[in-house]
Amino acid sequence: MKVTILGARGSIPTEGPEMLEFGGGTSCVLVESDDQAIFLDAGTGIINAPNVGDKEISILMTHPHLDHVLGLPFFPYIFEKGRKIGFYAGKNGILNTYEQLGTVFSNPLWPCRIEDYPSDITFHDAEFPLQIGGFTVTGIPSVHPGGGTVYRLEENGKSVIYATDYEYEEDKVGELIEFAKDCDLLFFDAQYTDEELDRRRGYGHSTVAQGLDVMKRSGTKNIRFVHHDPRHSDDFLRKMEADVKSEHVAFARKDEVIIL
């Protein structure tokens, strides 16, 4: 299994010389096997998707907040005539997958609909477990305003959990810990410092210390912190990371490739 970080920024894309190392593109992680290319979220990071050849393409969306779908209209494969793309999301209130996207990509917010692009996108309401090629995909509800989905992808004995836009709450985190049990790689939302969290409870994001707690209690082998705050520069993030960095613990950087 090959995992590529395409977008590690949260909330809104950023740019500037102080944002180059961790990157300014928003949420997107690519998970590949020999014949599958599964994109987790379609934030602006997806615009720089690598060549995946003729692999079957799927996109799993955690939730339709702008920073998780904004890259979709410029996803290179969406312009490829007839290219099959399977788009999946959990139910979000009463909205199915197509309706969640349709509220963003339609007039007057956007000049055309996603299905107007040349590719052949199919929309699926994710019901777990879901089989995508050799991948078994499961999901649990996230703890986030408006809801969301935390995904677990398993293939060939390896597992990845994608838990972004997740707020650690004492009485709910047990479900995530159980879900992440013994996983090889956990992506965890650590947008805030401890001090920032005090001012932003209920915003739907967590901290490094909370991620390390989930890692320890679930037996997670490796963790990458994601959804970097748009106000946090490379320098700031490097300092946050220095307190916890190890062979198994790091902050997500754009273009990092992890082989499991």
In angstroms, what is the minimal distance from the CB of 239 to Zn ion? Answer: 23
Instruction: Between 10 and 25, name the residue whose CB sits nearer to Zn ion.
Output: 10
Q: What are the tokens at 29? A: 């992680």
Instruction: Between 10 and 24, name the residue whose CB sits nearer to Zn ion.
Output: 10
Phi first, then psi, for residue 235 (nearest 5°) are: -60, -45
- Beta pairing class for 2-7 and 28-32: antiparallel
Tell which one of 37, 38, 39, 65 touches Zn ion (CB under 5 A).
65
**Positions in 3-22 near Zn ion (CB under 5 A):** 10
Position with the least CB separation from Zn ion: 65
Instruction: Between 67 and 154, name the residue whose CB sits nearer to Zn ion.
Output: 67
Instruction: Between 80 and 169, name the residue whose CB sits nearer to Zn ion.
Output: 169
Angle at 146 between CA 37 and CA 205, to 5 degrees: 75
In angstroms, what is the minimal distance from the CB of 203 to Zn ion? Answer: 9
Tell which one of 5, 13, 31, 67 touches Zn ion (CB under 5 A).
67
In angstroms, what is the minimal distance from the CB of 55 to Zn ion? Answer: 26
Q: How many residues belong to the site for Zn ion (CB under 5 A)?
A: 4
**Positions in 135-174 near Zn ion (CB under 5 A):** 165
In angstroms, what is the minimal distance from the CB of 99 to Zn ion? Answer: 17
In angstroms, what is the minimal distance from the CB of 189 to Zn ion? Answer: 8
Binding mask 221-240 for Zn ion (x = CB under 5 A): --------------------
| Region of 48-56, 62-70, 85-93, 213-221 interacting with Zn ion (CB under 5 A) | 62-70
In angstroms, what is the minimal distance from the CB of 32 to Zn ion? Answer: 23
Instruction: Between 1 and 60, name the residue whose CB sits nearer to Zn ion.
Output: 60
Binding site for Zn ion (CB under 5 A): 10, 65, 67, 165
